Chains A and B, each alone.
Chain A
Amino acid sequence: GAVVSQHPSRVICKSGTSVKIECRSLDFQATTMFWYRQFPKKSLMLMATSNEGSKATYEQGVEKDKFLINHASLTLSTLTVTSAHPEDSSFYICSASVVGHNEKLFFGSGTQLSVL
């Protein structure tokens, strides 16, 4: 099946620094990538939808200047957490849709972000 690679799997950073998370579709072209955030013992909450070549669409309550999303190609989307703070610590997961087959969604393995 299709593979979505998310990197890094775990990152620890100091408060005030920025962290970039990459999401790559390895063997297919992804029209759309989605970024989710999961709090401990909570469900996944959609943060934003990113379409290749256009601006991301953010869900209500998600700060677009805080969570920068870039989807420069059909195989790569990045999420940058800018000026990270401890409250940004969370598990972030991306998913990708296959071009022409939007019913197929593939998830990355997630990134555990810890901000000290």
Chain B
Amino acid sequence: AQSVTQPDIHITVSEGASLELRCNYSYGATPYLFWYVQSPGQGLQLLLKYFSGDTLVQGIKGFEAEFKRSQSSFNLRKPSVHWSDAAEYFCAVVAGMNYGGATNKLIFGTGTLLAVQP
């Protein structure tokens, strides 16, 4: 069965420092991978997604992620973190993508809470 692991529950970085959030997935075929961000009491905002093609994906707010099949990873990175980036980040994989039907359920990781120090 598909699964997503985010090893880091909580990360603190200084403003201006670089950031890498880890995500490992388990999926038999080529996965469809997502990173979402959630601010307190809010819904989810899509940062970026990977379906195929270039393994380095650019997203919004200066985020990028790299798909590494050999490591089953899809880590999220940002060169310089801003205080407004403090939030919870979720990695997700689609379970059973189906363009003709409607089976694109998302399996989420447990999230990584990012704190940014001044």
Contacts and interface: CB of A to CB of B under 8 A. Distances in A.
B44 interface: yes
Instruction: Count chain B CB atoms within 10 A of each CB in A51, A103, A108, A109 and give the residue with the most.
Output: A103
B42 A110 contact: yes
Interface residues of B, number: 27
Interface size class of A (residues with CB under 8 A): 20 to 34
Contacts of B106: 34, 44, 46, 95, 105
A26 B108 CA distance: 25
A43 B32 contact: no
A102 B43 contact: no
Given A93-B43, A93-B44, A110-B43, A105 B108 contact: no
Given A43-B110, A103-B51, A49 B43 contact: no
Interface in A88-109: 91, 93, 95, 97, 102-103, 105-109
Contacts of B108: 43-45
Contacts of A43: 90, 108-111
A109 B101 CA distance: 25
Contacts of A93: 43-44
Interface SS of A by simple majority: strand
Interface SS of B by simple majority: loop
A44 B36 CA distance: 11
Interface in A43-84: 43-46, 49, 51
A112 interface: yes
B102 interface: yes
A6 interface: yes
A34 B108 CA distance: 13
Interface of B: 32, 34, 36, 41-46, 49, 51, 90, 94, 97-99, 101-111
